[in-house]
Amino acid sequence: MKKLLLIATGGTIASKFTESGLAPQLNAEELLSYVPTAREFCTIDTIQPFSLDSTNVNAAHWIQLAGLIEKNYENYDGFVICHGTDTMAFTAAALSYLIQNNRRPVVITGAQKPIDLAITDARSNLLDSLRFASHDKAHGVTIVFGGKVICGTRAKKEFSKSYNAFSSINYPAIASIHDERIIFYIDDKNQCTAPLQFYHNMNERIFLLKLIPGINGKVLDALMDSHDGLMIESFGVGGLPNYGDDSFLKALDKWISSGKLVALATQVTHEGSDMSVYQVGKVIKDRFQVLESYDMTLEASVTKMMWVLGQSREPGKCREMFYKTVNHDLLFL
């Protein structure tokens, strides 16, 4: 049987009702007690590095989780992380960048309802995750949720209450799990031949700006001194507005000239960006060294910029790393 490490971090799956609302209360061993049949196909150790609502999870926790996996990598066949759903996609993407070329599975799961309720998705999600992490074909960072196995850089929470909360964006699901059976749609473990690599730094001085009609580019001036990277969530396939004052062009010139990293993503969930299509995007792309997210999810784009700037501030190196495909995050350039 495979030997797994269950890492509990809080989230709805571990929550109980309090006077102030749902809050994480259960520890890793208590979570495991709700899925006793898991021990029929794997052996499981547990650890609890922190217990948080995932709203409170940030880059320091991602680095902590990656470090915990690095420390225990040779001792286990796989890892399952119980996590809150609200920032799960960010955590899955971040761990994809912090732990690269891993031939052992790092599975992230959670639930929309606490595990101690009579009607909940928590027990099936946890059991599915342990089962998937025990499979010989499982590897890399994935999310297992609602019977789907989603690549860690391709997940997005699209429903706030439904059990099928997560979707795989611009990339197929890795596998599905039904009635204790795992059906693989993508089996690429043997293609992972590069050496395992752990990273230990991320730069949180990143700002995500969502464009709205009428926004003034001067807002970027106020952000520049306190941030090293800027991700602009633009309209459509990508571009910046010009309301006659060139405020965005002037602000971008300051950011780029100061050596800061700027990238454009899109507010549209599916099919990605292409700044070369319309004048509002092509002018920006031709004039400035602005990066583009293309088919990456917003969660992957943001955490990838944090990872890139955690390793280098040299513009050429940053560009090279941002456009390097990691865990299937980027297909179209």
Q: Name the residue range of residue 82's domain.
A: 2-198
% of the chain with per-residue pLDDT over 70: 100
pLDDT digits (tens, 9 = 90+) for 120-161: 999 999 999 999 999 999 999 999 999 999 999 999 999 999
Verify that 222 and 313 share a domain, yes or no.
yes
Residues known to be catalytic:
12
Domain end, chosen from 198, 217, 252, is at 198
Residues whose CB is less than 8 angstroms from the CB of residue 259 and which lie 6 or more positions away in sequence, other chains included: 313, 315
Would the pTM of this model clear 0.85, i.e. be above it? yes
Q: What is the pLDDT of residues 207-238, one digit of tens each?
A: 999 999 999 999 999 999 999 999 999 999 99
Across the range 67-92, mean pLDDT stands at 98
Q: How many CB atoms lie within 10 A of CB 56?
A: 13
Q: Is the pLDDT of residue 40 over 70?
A: yes
Claim to verify: residue 212 and residue 70 sit in the same structural domain: no
Strand boundaries in the chain, DSSP class E: 2-8, 15-18, 21-24, 42-47, 78-82, 99-100, 105-109, 140-145, 148-151, 155-157, 166-168, 175-178, 181-184, 197-198, 206-210, 229-234, 261-266, 291-292
Per-residue pLDDT for 312 more than 90?
Answer: yes
Residue 293 lies in a domain: yes
| pLDDT score recorded for residue 193 | 86
Q: What is the pLDDT, as a whole number, of residue 333?
A: 63
Per-residue pLDDT tens for 241-276?
A: 999 888 999 999 999 999 999 999 999 999 999 999
- Same domain (yes/no): 118, 39: yes
> Given this model, what pLDDT does residue 244 score?
86
Confidence at 164, pLDDT banded by 50, 70, 90: very high
Question: What is the pLDDT of the chain when averaged over all its residues?
Answer: 96
Q: Is residue 282 part of a domain?
A: yes
On whether residue 36 sits in a domain, the answer given is yes
pLDDT at 299: 98
Cα torsion at 63, 64, 67, 72 (round to 10°)? -150
The Cα-based distances of 244 to 157, 250, 277, 291 in angstroms read 37, 12, 21, 24
Asked whether residue 191 carries a pLDDT value surpassing 90, the answer given is: no
* pLDDT tens sequence across 98-124: 999 999 999 999 999 999 999 999 999
170 part of a folded domain: yes
- Count up the domains in the chain and report the number: 2
Are 83 and 192 in the same domain?
yes
Question: In sequence order, what are the beta bridge partners of 44?
Answer: 4
In a domain, 182, yes or no: yes
| CATH (domain of 246) | 3.40.50.40
Which pLDDT band, with edges at 50, 70 and 90, does 192 fall under?
Answer: confident
SS3 320: helix
Confidence of residue 10 (pLDDT cuts 50, 70, 90): very high
Q: Is residue 309 classed exposed, middle or buried when 0-12, 13-18 and 19+ CB atoms within 10 A define those classes? A: buried
The arithmetic mean of pLDDT across residues 79-94, rounded, is 98
